[in-house]
Structure 1
Amino acid sequence: MLVAMGLVVAVAVAVTVTVALVLALSRALPTALPHALSRSVLLRAAVRSRRRLELGGSEVRRGQELQLQRLLPPGTFRGSEAFREQHPLKPGCDGGNPGGAVLSLRPWALLHSFWGTDPPLQASLLYLDTLRATFPRALSPRGTALLSWSPGVPRAPAGWLLPTLYCTPAPSGPLPSRAASLRVQLLFALRERGLRVLEAGTATELHDALVVLRAGWPGLAQELALGRLSPQPGLPEEVRGRLQALLTPDTARAAQLRAECALGFQGIVRRLWPQLELVVLGTAHGAEQLYCESLRQGECQGLPFYCPFYRAAGALLGVNLWPEEPAPRFLLCPDWAFYEFLPCPAEEEPRTVLLGELWEGREYGLVLTAQPGEYRCRSGEVLRVTGFHKQCPVVEPVRRESQTLSVRGESIPEDRFYRTLCRAVDMWPGARLVDYVCVESALLGASSGASAPHYEVFVELRGLRDLSEGQRYKLDQCLQEDFPVYKSFRFKGSIGPLRLHMVGAGAFARLREALGPPSPMPRVLREERLLQLVQSSVIS
């Protein structure tokens, strides 16, 4: 036992000292040496983290009880049953820190977190271990480009413990403008022909960055050739000067960019970066599914997508150990939070079940106790159990309860509405769905007129310039076919006909800028200011 504890201390000290040395050496030496040193030590620590995860997977009940004890004030722990009796379910979580800020890289902070069960550190180590096992060349120095807007609190990239992985300059993330941040990061990514990994905070960020490439590649090529960063809105002059100092003219790379873009944008990502092995996305499920499908069929054709972590209500909860599988699924880690689950459909007198009491194939609403003082919060997330890794459930996110459409209690979940919308769009010749949001008529106020409560849907399409009345009605008809309760209310006249609007290109990029820091795209708008922004872009 003492020997094992000594090994833990030795590894922890080694990781701490190594990271401190890397931060110092990287300022004075080429990237390769500090990168190789830190990668070697961190991968050893990552193997230990993986063993710890495997051990925890065999003792789920005990791990959950210990985690709950850590989250409660000292001397108050009486077991999970007493905890559930004492604290009623809360209607929602406060969201925590959606930006995913990480630990300070100060040595003592790292040493303390290594002893504990700090999720950001453990998650990053598990990410490095997973890449080592499946895509070892993805751990090359400066082989990862980051596309992520992080105003205010910096957002942690997946491999934050190994900063020499990244070729993206830090000042490009917290710019005041989302559009400016993504454009600058794209420019620095284009400089590196030997990229192995393209990482984005969300699928929408990658999507919008590649829209910038489609629309502005001549300007980007010119900046590469001249080694000059052009002034642009949302890019302060002092920051532009610091970024400018990192650029050098590269006419050969600019010529490659022009040649590839002139051939079209199908598969453009792999053509621009021939050594690219995978795309890493902070969020790639639920509302982001639309963008993932679009990218897989278009610009990122032929590349695997890997979403390494599962977050909900601002808490880091699970890790994806299967990067080569097309659909992300996550192992819930027993020592990252105390989990409870409400079976779906909801019961009249709901009683939660615990992490070790789930059934494969069933859906559950997630209830979290992830930080001290925030007890038994309904996260609003619905998960489906797809299997087990030892005793730990493996889950896939299904939908967000806050994104359910309902004007008469009919309850149309976002995942099922999306499938119905796709079915309707498939009936419009030449049309392809780019993006969409929904609004319940109550948000429109007096502007909705005297009609019965109804839905309004705003879509961006490619391949179609206008919508006929027959096409507009087709979506309402599909909803009636897929949702009998909705059809009944429509027949009675207590729900009015759905109203469908088409918006111009760029409307949803402006919406995402207005939403603020990166988060999953809302499919049902609840704020009047966001509704007005979308309404101002309607073209049909």
Structure 2
Amino acid sequence: MTLLLAPALLLAMLAVLGAGLLLFGTICRRITVTGHLWTIIWTQSCLLIVRWLGWWERRRLERDTRDAQDIQSELLRHWLRRNPIAECECGPDEQNSKSNRALFRSTYPLTRVTDYQPPGTCCAVEAAEQGMKKPWKLLVSRRCSGQKVIFPIMHDALRNYVQGIAVSFDASLCTSRETCRRQKACRFSYTHSCPPTHSGIPIAPDVNPGFFNKLLSYGLSTPMAGQGLPAGPDACYIHLLFALSQRALVRLEAPGTAQLHNAFLLLRTRWQALVEDIDKGLICMALGLPAAVRRKLEDALTPDLKRADEIRHEVEEGFEGIARRLWPDLQMVIGKDAGPNDPHSDALRNCYCKGVALYSPIYTTGQGLIGINLWPRCPEASYVLVPRSLLFEFILEENAGDNEPETLSIEELEQGGCYELVVSSSAGIYRCRTGDICEVKKFYNQSPVVRLKYRLDQELSLRGERTSEAQLYQALRCAARHWRGSELVEYCGTESRLLGNAAGASDAHYVVFVELHGMQNLTEAHKNKLDQYLQEDSVTYRSLRNKGSVGAARVIVVYVGTFEALRDSVIGLSAPNTNPMSGHIMRGQDQVEFLLQRCIT
């Protein structure tokens, strides 16, 4: 915290160190001076600050994971003391930890997200009005049920988010010496506009401490004038334009994999305009940019015919592995993974960013920070649970369907076991079932390392059969291979009963809305491939189809940008959706009607 309390003094000290590092690197020819001297010194100084903070928070995480069980017991005692009924029975030492857990479970029943979201209200705003501690921020997101959910983020939780961001950023730097030397990166970051609550609490779609963006803003390819643009295609175009103009990028960053995928889709459709802008050093007039912003951006864009020809050549070679070909020094692509059945991550990993490490740095939910990924180059994202962030409980996978199942603590977990995650936070959210089923891969000291397997309630059922989100996505991927000229961008599945009259007179059936890039007029033969692969995957579903109990799965293609518009209509923010693990099974009738109004076929 000394770092945050005395920023001016520390910045002055690190500026001197940054100047020394610049001189040393220049002498050793490890850092190429290509910009203004002050900008380079500032960039190196900010990098030193973040590296120091990452080193400090990593040490703190190491200590905490060695004492994870004791820290969780202390959190438990802390929250019991906040309850006047339980305070008198709360044991003061470790010998009473087992009885404290029993007391906690009897005092607070298991809850779900919907218990904290009464229609038209927000528990955090009400708490602020009643004189309780005011939240630092309200995190707003959307569940696949179509419900808008709001979670309060308290000030004491900010430290945990700082730790998660700092440690993961430092981990990404430490994976490559070359990355540490050259810090040019492209970050697809956007601003959002939403007024605060009448109590003055900011509302945002993600929890990102702003000073991190400010510290690292000088190490980005996009000039400062382009870093504050509102979310939308124009902002994505600007980020992509300046990223393409610089061959020596080492990282691509975004809040989530969806924003990175959208950037490459934009490259596919508008690469000729991007190449022309780089060739002439001007910005496409079709972009609705303010005149002052356009002028500053064009001042920073130098005409480069050689680079334009190079980009043109690589695009004409195809888009598989194009990220590494456009940026030969690219080390890592960073964005929060949206779960195991995410088309955005698959498109990046298997096509655009093939051969480049895809790093999902942190695991968060609306309740707080859950885990940090310490292994950036591991293809399967795993997260170390952060002991001080939340109070964790676990429900055995086979008991996750019960209303009041028994819960386990960290010390009761087994390697290879699968559990539903239950969390309690300082914002007054107690024993909330996240619905995330996680597998314990191993232990990092005393703290479990988990991998998300799937979310509960993400399945379709018409006649007692169960088709999981994973089965639906696998069948959709197989079907999409037959849709030549089309790329799957986003999808969601639902049941025909939610379509009302639009379902027609046919038997009950699955309905899958898909957003495609490229050819969108699918033939009936193309669409029927989904039902074919669903039958091949599930004996039960095939039996119901043969008996005529259920109809053929129906594919509905929607316009490009429909799912982003759907999210904005629910959340009320024009900003990227950065909340991962939301699932792809839609249960909200209003949202289904929204999609039907934007269908192509």
- Which TM-score tier does this pair reach, normalised by the shorter chain? 0.7 to 0.9
1:301 aligns with 2:351: no
User: Are 2:193 and 1:193 equivalent residues in the alignment?
Assistant: no
**Percent identity of paired positions between Structure 1 and Structure 2:** 33
Deviation at 1:488, TM superposition (A): 5.5
CA deviation string 1:385-440 (max 9, x = no partner):
21211221111112233533234554432123212333445577898655432222
Aligned to 1:18: 10
Compared CA separation, residues 73 and 64, structure 1 to 2 (3 A)? same
Aligned to 2:145: none
In the other structure, the counterpart of 2:74 is: 66
1:237 deviation in Å?
A: 4.8
8 Å Cα contact 2:222-2:238 kept in structure 1? no
**Corresponding residue to 2:106 among 85, 90, 105:** 85
Matches within 5 A, 1:29-428: 30-69=38-77, 74=82, 78=90, 79-92=100-113, 97=139, 118-140=159-181, 143-152=184-193, 153=204, 156=208, 160=213, 162-163=215-216, 164-169=218-223, 172=226, 175-232=229-286, 235-237=289-291, 239-241=293-295, 243-283=297-337, 285-288=339-342, 290-313=343-366, 315-345=368-398, 346=400, 348=402, 349-408=404-463, 410-425=465-480
8 Å contact 2:495–2:509 — kept in the other structure?
yes
Preserved CA contact (<8 Å) 1:32 1:141: no
Distance 1:56 1:249, change over 3 A: same
Deviation string 1:312-338 (CA, Å, 9 cap, x unpaired) is 225221111111111111111111111
Match of 2:124 in 1: none
The change in CA–CA distance for 1:98 and 1:278 in structure 2 (over 3 A counts) is farther
Instruction: Specify whether residues 467 and 187 from structure 1 end up closer, same or farther in structure 2 by C-alpha distance, changes over 3 A only.
Output: closer
Is the contact made by 1:141 and 1:166 (CA closer than 8 Å) also made in structure 2? no
Amino acid at match of 2:69: R
Compare 484-493 and 355-364 and name the one that shifted more: 484-493
Provide the rounded CA distance (Å) in 1 between the counterparts of 2:397 and 2:224. Answer: 43
Question: 1:85 is aligned with what amino acid?
Answer: S
- Letter in structure 2 aligned against 1:282: K
1:126 deviates by 0.9
Structure 1 unaligned regions, length at least 5: 1-8, 100-111
* Counterpart for residue 523 of structure 1: 584
* Aligned-residue offset at 1:377: 1.6
Matched-pair contact (CA < 8 Å) for 2:279–2:305: yes
* Preserved contact between residue 11 and residue 45 of structure 2 (Cα < 8 Å): no
Q: Secondary structure at the match of 2:374?
A: coil
SS state of the match for residue 286, structure 1? coil
Pair 1:397–1:238, CA change in 2 (3 A): farther
Amino acid at match of 1:43: R
TM-superposed deviation, 1:210: 0.9
Q: Which residue of 1 aligns with 2:497?
A: 442
User: How far apart are residue 523 of structure 1 and its match?
Assistant: 1.9
**TM-score of the two chains, using structure 2 as the length reference:** 0.74
Alpha-carbon contact 1:138-1:144 (below 8 Å) kept: no
Aligned amino acid, residue 373 of structure 1: G
**Comparing 88-97 and 45-54, the one that deviates more:** 88-97
Deviations 1:160-215 (A, max 9, x none): 47414333345645544422221121112223221110112221211111111111
Q: CA RMSD, aligned part only?
A: 3.8
CA distance in 1, matches of 2:298, 2:590: 36
C-alpha deviation, 1:138, in angstroms: 2.3
Task: Give the superposition deviation at 1:340.
Answer: 1.5
> Normalised by the size of structure 1, how large is the TM-score?
0.82
Aligned counterparts of 1:530 and 1:169: Cα–Cα separation in 2: 38
Q: Which amino acid aligns with 2:256?
A: T
CA distance change for structure 1 residues 320 and 414 in 2, over 3 Å: closer, same or farther? same
